[in-house]
A = this chain, B = another copy of it.
Amino acid sequence: MSSEVGDLLAGYRGRRTLITGGLGFIGSNLAHRLVELGGRVTIVDALVPDQGGNPYNVHEIADQILIRVADLRSEEVAREAVQGQDVIFNLAGQVSHVDSMENPRQDLESNILPHLSLLEACRRHNRQAVIVYAGTRGQFGRPQYLPVDESHPQRPLDINGVHKMAAEHYHFVYHHAYGLRICSLRLTNTYGPRMLMKHGRHGFISWFLRQAADDETIVVFGDGRQLRDFNYVDDVVGALLLAGASPAAEGQAFNLGSGQPVSVGQIAQMVVEACGRGRWDLVPYPEDRRPIEIGDYYAETNKIAATLGWHPAVGLRQGLLETVRFFAAHRQHYWS
Chain B residues closer than 8 Å to A291, beta-carbon distance: 176-178
Chain A stretch 113-155: residues in CB contact (< 8 A) with chain B? 113, 116, 120, 151, 153-155
Chain B residue nearest in CB terms to A160: B173
Q: A153 vs B154: C-alpha distance in the bound complex, in angstroms?
A: 9
Chain A stretch 251-305: residues in CB contact (< 8 A) with chain B? 291-292
A167 → chain B, closest Cβ, in Å?
9
Assembly stoichiometry (copies)? 2
A33 → chain B, closest Cβ, in Å?
32
A292 → chain B, closest Cβ, in Å?
6
Q: Within 8 Å of chain B (Cβ to Cβ): is A194?
A: no
Cβ B155 vs Cβ A177 within 8 A: no
A302 → chain B, closest Cβ, in Å?
19
Q: A169-B165, A173-B157 are in contact. Are A105 and B112 (CB under 8 A)?
A: no
Chain B residues closer than 8 Å to A158, beta-carbon distance: 173, 177
A128 → chain B, closest Cβ, in Å?
18
Chain B residue nearest in CB terms to A168: B162
Q: A168 vs B154: C-alpha distance in the bound complex, in angstroms?
A: 12
Q: A155 vs B178: C-alpha distance in the bound complex, in angstroms?
A: 16
Q: Within 8 Å of chain B (Cβ to Cβ): is A166?
A: yes
What are the 3 A-B residue pairs with the smallest beta carbon separation, nearest first? A166-B166, A177-B291, A162-B169
